[in-house]
Amino acid sequence: MALTMLNELLIEDPNPPMLLYQISKTAELDTLNYQSCFMQGVFAHFPEILFIHRTYNPVGKVLYTFLVDGPRVQLEGHLARAVYFAIPAKEDAEGLAQMFQVFKKFNPAWERVCTILVDPHFLPLPTLTMEFPAAEVLLSAFHICKFLQGKFYQLSLEQPVERVLLTSLQSTMCSATAGNLRKLYMLLSSCIPPAQLPELHSHWLLNDRIWLAHRWRSRAESSRYFQGLEVTTRVLSQFFGTTPCVEQGVTLLLRYMQQNSGDKASSSLGLSPQNNHAPLDVSPESPRVEQLVEARIQHSLNAICTGPAAQLCLGELAVVQKSVHLIGSGSEKVNIQILEDTHRVQPQPPASCSCYFNQAFHLPCRHILALLSARHQVLQPDMLPAQWTAGCAASLDNILGSKWSETLDKHLAVALLTEEVSQLLQHCSQEEFERRYSTLRELADSWIGPYEQVQL
């Protein structure tokens, strides 16, 4: 099966790519090296800075994606900067050395590589240094940002603290000056418990060599850069990171690359081929996969939920259809960011989310629905409480009246006000910050008393 699926790529491509692979004794894909003519040309033009991203598959295989980086690279498209795909037999010194040697054999411009950007968990640094002796290996700003985001979620901080840290991180990454990085470093030191602070490796923020490779970008350029890499890594995760069959994930990813290379580099985002219920055709002639998935989710909502519950959830789905962003995943929880909100989703039944809608109504919110859409799944009866299943509720007014309370209303009002104040404090001058902070300090003391220090 692997031979058939992969060789079809060579037949379909008018300009056959470089495709080397090995099949194990069990007829499964063991190693792979792939580079199209377009990808090879991009690397030949921009070889100075190489960005390496790793995507893990559920069966343990890892996909190495090489991308070009740096001030000269002005390519548009989700994977336009990708110049090489590889799957080593193992992530040991021998397997990675073989992978890098194949890359070098087909890319003479490798000798002009000056900088290689990697993630914090990239352990085989000696192998990389040996294969690229003239290149400097640095942690990438993008991977440091993703690492810190993941740690903020794992630490289960109070939501106001987590929100402040995420906002400060985003602002700092878009303007990585030495002063802003030190401010973020001090903020982490004050907000994170001392016992947990070493897990964050906050000293990276003070390593100026890391940030010199990123600091040349303006705020707008940094925002586009992070957004572009976020989408790129999402595409890789959807094709390769969620498909148990390695051959199928690789084939669909490479077919997507063929269809979106060269003049197609700005084409729309592809979706994951994996579907737990029925296979979906991802060929260009098929209907839009997004519409099929959304229609199935709507049908499952109407079939399983009461009318009022479906009405509430369809409103959440309308937001999902406008903007969905999958920003990270773990073994048990998936972090979903939609528009400006970031929340933690527990996908195992009964599904739950940290957002206000789910906490108030215990219904599938936009973040849970976004996860279902990304995985091409539909709502299941065990994902919502019994009182919301079909035939159990009378009217929307009765449900809202029973679920809503003055306490919840106050909580929402305070949360919105807190967020607004936090944003104002983040983006004002130091002098203005001191004045506003002093006002808040006096107000808190007048309400609660100066003898009980209030964390602002």
Could you give the angle at the alpha carbon of 146 between the alpha carbons of 97 and 372, nearest 5°?
A: 105
Confidence (pLDDT) at 382: 79
Residue in 131, 143, 139, 136 with CA at minimum distance from that of residue 95: 131
Q: Residue holding tokens 């990239």?
A: 122
Q: Name the range with the highest mean pLDDT among 138-142, 173-177, 343-347.
A: 138-142
Give tens-digit pLDDT for 13-54.
556 667 776 766 666 777 888 888 888 889 999 999 999 999
Confidence (pLDDT) at 7: 63
d(C-alpha 203, C-alpha 2), whole Å:
45
Give tens-digit pLDDT for 81-108.
999 999 998 888 899 999 999 999 999 9
Q: Bridge partners of 336?
A: 326, 343
Confidence (pLDDT) at 265: 40
Confidence (pLDDT) at 219: 84
Q: Identify the burial level of 410 via C-beta atoms within 10 angstroms of its C-beta, where 0-12 means exposed, 13-18 middle and 19 or more buried.
A: exposed
What average pLDDT does this structure show over 396-408?
Answer: 51
Return the higher-pLDDT residue of 63 and 288.
63
Q: Identify the burial level of 297 via C-beta atoms within 10 angstroms of its C-beta, where 0-12 means exposed, 13-18 middle and 19 or more buried.
A: buried
Give tens-digit pLDDT for 252-276.
887 777 776 544 443 332 323 333 3
Q: Which long-range contacts (CB under 8 A, 24 or more apart) does 177-185 make?
A: 177/215, 178/208, 178/211, 181/205, 181/206, 181/211, 182/206
d(C-alpha 260, C-alpha 240), whole Å:
17
Provide the 10 A C-beta neighbour count for residue 115: 18
What average pLDDT does this structure show over 184-194?
Answer: 91
Determine the straight-line distance between the first and last CA of the chain, rounded to whole angstroms.
60
DSSP string over 266-279: TPPPP-----SSS-
Is it the case that residue 186 has pLDDT exceeding 70?
A: yes
Share of the chain above pLDDT 90, in %: 21
Across the chain, mean pLDDT equals: 76
Q: Alpha helices, DSSP H only, in 323-452?
A: 356-361, 366-374, 396-403, 406-426, 430-448
Question: Dihedral, CA atoms, 257, 258, 262, 268, nearest 10 degrees?
Answer: -50
Question: Dihedral, CA atoms, 285, 254, 240, 329, nearest 10 degrees?
Answer: -80
User: What 3-state DSSP class applies to 395?
Assistant: coil
Is it the case that residue 277 has pLDDT exceeding 70?
A: no
Tokens of 48: 């100075």
- Exposure b/e, 301-335, CB count within 10 A at least 16 = b: bbebbbebbbebbeebbebbeeebbbbbbeeebbb
Give tens-digit pLDDT for 409-454.
566 567 667 766 777 777 778 888 888 888 887 777 777 655 445 5
Helices 141-154, 219-236: crossing angle, 10 deg rounding: 70
Residue 204's pLDDT band (cuts 50, 70, 90): very high
Pairing between β-strand 115-118 and β-strand 136-139 as defined by DSSP bridges = parallel
For residues 96 and 118, the answer to whether their CB atoms sit within 8 Å is: no
DSSP string over 314-357: HHHHHHHHH--EEEEE-SS-EEEEETTEEEEEE-SSSPEESSHH
Sheet containing 352-353: order of strands: 325-329, 334-338, 341-346, 352-353
Give tens-digit pLDDT for 302-334.
777 776 677 677 767 766 655 544 444 444 556
d(C-alpha 133, C-alpha 363), whole Å:
55
Q: Which CATH number fits domain 1-139: 1.10.3470, 3.30.420, 3.40.50, 3.30.70?
A: 3.30.420
Domain boundaries, the chain: 1-139, 143-216, 290-392
Quick one: how far is CA 234 from the chain centroid? 6
d(C-alpha 399, C-alpha 16), whole Å:
60
Residue in 316, 319, 356 with CA at minimum distance from that of residue 339: 319
Confidence (pLDDT) at 148: 93
Pairing between β-strand 29-35 and β-strand 49-56 as defined by DSSP bridges = unpaired
What average pLDDT does this structure show over 131-155?
Answer: 91
